Structure 1
Amino acid sequence: MQTEEQVHYLLAKLPQLKTEIGKIIVGQEQVLEEVLITLLAGGHGLLEGVPGLAKTLLVRTLANATDCVFRRIQFTPDLMPTDILGTEILEEDHSTGKRFFKFNEGPVFANIVLADEINRTPPKTQAALLEAMQEFEITYAGKTYVLPRPFFILATQNPIEQAGTYPLPEAQLDRFLLYIRIQYPTEQEELSILANTTGTHQPEVKAALTSHDLVQLQKLVREVTISPDLVSYVNQLVRNTRSATTTVSMVKEYVRWGAGPRAGQALILTAKARALLHNRFSVTAPDIQTLAYPVLRHRIVTDFNAEAEEINTDRVVSELLKAIKLPKSSLK
């Protein structure tokens, strides 16, 4: 448990962080909030958007504003697991003449890792990130290497170019805390982008948080309270994504596989992070309802009927939120 002084110090840093990122990133407030929620909750994010929407710039700016070690990995069809994790090389001790293997750390050994266009590399290489994302460590040649903390992967993918891509397997998708969709900017935001990025002025981003601050904030997120009624509400939302246990007709008709228990954990944890981001120490129903979309959209697998009728997972989540009633305690 952190002292009141420490809590106030950490909470004061969050508006500063938003301000620094806002020097570079125009608009996209919902996307920025979801990225920060993922970071505060200690998870990883999958960011989807067409080219030119500043996905890479957002991650780089976040790293600059948090004074964290940043690495960018460009995923390509010929990328190998060792290009991500690292490899052993044979070295010689000049004093004794003995040879030994030394592990050279790959770019995954950083605080913030940008996995750019992750779906452009084969499943074998994608799978190299599974242990890192879940256990925050990697195993190479029988040895385990612990990754630095905080450790945050933000992967990007382009939804319009499917040639030469490899869809992420469900097991990999489930490791992402949030699936964040980035849309085109509004007319006013686009006007600001054009005016502010085509001149000589280059804003300087200053570090608002240290890596130690981030670790403390991630611990503070877990201290945010949530009522038993809202925990039960989250449980009902997740269980009703499964055709075998649902009462929602759209799920019975169009969903092949529902979300697992990890989805409920993710929904509660990210709701706590959102509450903290809004300077609250208890979760409210809107926190859960807002985050139901990025938490569940990649954990629900629809069938061919849904594809034929153009029913996507966001539509399913919308129906779930309508069908599952909020607890009476949250309506007071």
Structure 2
Amino acid sequence: MAEATPAPGPENAGPAPPETSEAVGDPTQLLRATLQEISTVIVGQDQMVERILIALVAKGHCLLEGVPGIAKTLAVSTLATVTGGSFTRLQFTPDLVPSDIVGTRIYHPSTEQFDVELGPVFKNFVLADEINRAPAKVQSSLLEVMAEKQVSLGGTTYTLPDPFVVIATQNPVESEGVYPLPEAQRDRFLMKVEMTHPRAHEEMEILRRMSTTHPEAHQLLDPVTLLELQKDAERVQVHQLVLDYVVRLVMATREPENYGVPELRRVLEVGASPRATLGLVACARALALIRGRDYVLPDDVRLLARDVMAHRLVLTFDALADGTTTGQVVDRILAAVPPPRVIWDGPSTDAGDGAAVATR
């Protein structure tokens, strides 16, 4: 069995995370301040910025899809600056090879030994820019990195720094010279966020800010604090009926005829995986923490369902020919599967401060 060895470098140095969240301040205030600081640089992409932060707090990876020039790369680098983590940008091209990303073993004739050269993925934030420009073998080199947060080279396993997140971008318009991500690769991403052009007033604000001296974000967090925020999110309570609602949403993609949407049987070839179930709960917890709650509401799940589930669905050929999108399928499921009702009638030990979740 491969020996687990921590990655060298300053990323793994430093004190152990504190035991309680009081050591780093109020988590909601910290997360809201982080969003506010990022907004001093990024204009008109509030949903995208919030989704990236949710993925980070939920310990997941994020895929950004949008046309060039709408601040995808700038948003990731700004997030790394504000949270205080190390950052690297990998420009994916057709001539890239896996060793360019994860590292390789180099033979030195003078010592007659192999030395390990670790790749650029050993950072807290890894931006995989235009990930669909690289061939399948390069894309697959990230599978172990994203799922296990480790790299195996020459029989030895090297652990990536913690926290660790991969944020990939891809262009949805241009198809020449592009290698679409396979289903297994897409499933590794906790969320896929679709981005659009800014509106007119946002474009004017971009022009005002960027036409002179570019604004700069300041560091508010550090990796130790970020780890504690992730623990705070894990402590957010989820009522049993909300968990049941998440399961019903996911199962409706696999057995639509049992959940009131039989017309989706001819549309869906492969439903969402169990990663969608786990991801919905983790993201809902992170969103609740940002909104200042210690419990999850059904609306948290509904708000994030499209970002978590849509990219995990595989449509039939007929559905693709008809122009059906996975987002439309998720919207149809959300409309058909009823959520549990929330009754505000005093404290509840299950749902949190003043919220009781009841059957529909």
- Report the Cα offset of residue 326 of structure 1: 1.1
More divergent stretch after superposition (110-119 vs 60-69): 60-69
Matches within 5 A, 1:1-332: 2-3=19-20, 5-6=22-23, 8-91=25-108, 98-199=111-212, 201-243=213-255, 246-247=258-259, 248-329=261-342, 330=357
2:245 is aligned with what amino acid?
Y
CA positional deviation for 1:280: 1.0
Question: Alpha carbon RMSD of aligned pairs, Å?
Answer: 1.7
Shift of residue 6, structure 1, vs aligned partner:
3.3
1:40, 1:214 within 8 Å by CA — same for their partners in 2? yes
How far apart are the structure 1 equivalents of 2:26 and 2:286?
A: 17
Query: What SS does structure 1 have at the residue aligned with 2:181?
Result: coil
% same residue: 44
- The DSSP-based 3-state class of the residue aligned with 1:298 is helix
Instruction: Structure 1: give runs of 5+ residues left out of the alignment.
Output: none
1:202 and 1:324 map into 2 onto residues whose CA distance is 46
Post-superposition shift, 1:22?
1.1
Segments of structure 2 that go 5 or more residues without pairing to the other structure are 1-17, 343-356
Contact map agreement 2:24 2:225 (CA 8 A) in 1? no
Change (3 A) 1:259 1:246: farther
TM-score, normalised relative to structure 1: 0.94
Deviation for aligned residue 1:79: 0.4
Q: List per-residue Cα deviations over 1:146-193 (Å, max 9, x = no partner).
A: 000110100000001111110101000000000111111121111111
**Whole-Å Cα distance in 2 between the matches of residues 222 and 147 of structure 1?**
21
- Describe the shift of the 1:80–1:246 C-alpha distance in structure 2 as closer, same or farther (beyond 3 A): farther
Taking the aligned partners of 2:20 and 2:154, their CA distance within structure 1 comes to 43
Partner of residue 6, structure 2: none
Counterpart AA for 2:157 = T
> CA shift at 1:122, angstroms?
0.6
Q: Give the AA of the match of 1:147.
A: L
The one-letter code matched in structure 2 to 1:133 is M
Give how far 1:277 is off.
1.0
In the aligned structure 2, how far is the partner of 1:4 from the partner of 1:208?
Answer: 16
Cα distance, 1:220–1:4 mapped onto 2, change above 3 Å: closer
Asked if structure 1 preserves the Cα contact closer than 8 Å seen for 2:123 and 2:160, the reply is yes
The offset of 1:142, in angstroms, is 1.4
Q: Give, in whole Å, the separation in 2 of the partners of 1:178 and 1:161.
A: 22
Aligned length: 327
Question: Do 1:71 and 1:110's aligned partners in 2 also have CA atoms closer than 8 Å?
Answer: yes
Separation of aligned partners in 2, 1:38 and 1:4: 19
In 1: Cα distance, 2:240 partner to 2:177 partner: 47
The CA deviation at 1:331 is: 6.7
TM superposition score normalised by structure 2: 0.87
